[in-house]
Amino acid sequence: MNELKLARLMLAIVVFGLLVSAITIWPAVPELKLAVRIAWGDGEPTGTLHKFVLQAIDGLESVGARYPFMLYAHDWLAFAHIVLAILFAGAMRDPVRNIWVVQCGLIMCALVPVLAGICIPCRGLPLCWFWIDCAFAPAAAVPLWIALRAIRRVEASSPAN
């Protein structure tokens, strides 16, 4: 596979992941309930993570029932994922010229653990949630790193260099 095709494929993987993340923000409660049934069944809560997810479901349902406008933050979170997907999709058109988008994406991935490390304790989330949040960084960073290396090889082989 040539380097530009590889870079575009890796960027497409990131775009797909961002769009899936965006779409799955809206049905959070049914998704969390399904995850609980799959992971723990319908029994009594076991462990910190199980209890936290049940509490999150209860919180989302309570807020949705009493203060639905508070869930507007979820709409903006989904929108942010869509905007980032558009940014990376735009970079697919000309990866060499838009290498800065890939570099910016890698910087964002590096900042995920920083934000999680600060905000998780401040918001009272269980510390195991840190690893769940941080799993998304390498999921995007690996294809971005592959794309960056492919773009650099294209740059190095171009007659202008």
pLDDT: which is higher, 94 or 160: 94
pLDDT tens-digit map of 71-117: 999 999 999 999 999 999 999 999 999 999 999 999 999 999 999 99
Residue 97 and residue 154 in contact, taking contact as beta carbons nearer than 8 Å: no
- Domain-by-domain residue ranges, the chain? 3-155
> Is the pLDDT reported for residue 46 higher than 80?
yes
* b (16+ CB within 10 A) / e for 120-146: beeeebeeebbeebbeebeebbebbbb
Q: Which range has highest mean pLDDT (124-128, 149-153, 157-161)?
A: 149-153
Dist. CA 91–CA 100, nearest whole Å: 9
Residue 161 pLDDT level (bands cut at 50, 70, 90)? low
Q: Report residue 42's pLDDT band, with 50, 70 and 90 as the boundaries.
A: confident
Residue 20 sits at φ, ψ, to 5 deg, of: -65, -45
Whether 95 and 148 have beta carbons less than 8 Å apart is answered as: no
**Res 160 pLDDT > 90:** no
C-alpha 144/C-alpha 14 separation (Å) is 8
Spatial distance between the Cα atoms of 24 and 112, rounded to a whole number of angstroms: 19
* Mean of per-residue pLDDT scores for the chain: 94
